[in-house]
Amino acid sequence: VADQGDGVWVSLWETDQLARVSADGEVTMIDLPAGSEPHGLAMAADGALWVALEAGYVLRLPTS
The per-residue pLDDT for range 21-51, each reduced to its tens digit, is: 999 999 999 999 999 999 999 999 999 999 9
**pLDDT for residue 40:** 95
Total count of domains within the chain = 1
Instruction: Check whether 64 has a pLDDT greater than 80.
Output: no
Q: Give every CB contact of residue 42 below 8 A, 6+ residues apart in sequence.
A: 1, 49, 50
Residue 21 identity (one-letter amino acid):
V
Given the residues 21, 22, 29, 39, the one annotated as active site: 39
Look at residue 37 and tell me if it is in a domain. yes
11 contacts 50 by C-beta, under 8 angstroms: no
Look at residue 48 and tell me if it is in a domain. yes
**pLDDT for residue 14:** 94
Q: Is 8 a catalytic residue?
A: no
**Measured between alpha carbons, how far is 8 from 36 in angstroms, rounded to an integer?**
20
Q: What is the DSSP letter of 48?
A: P
**pLDDT for residue 63:** 86
**pLDDT for residue 30:** 96
Provide the domain limits for residue 32: 8-61
Look at residue 2 and tell me if it is in a domain. no
Look at residue 3 and tell me if it is in a domain. no
Look at residue 41 and tell me if it is in a domain. yes
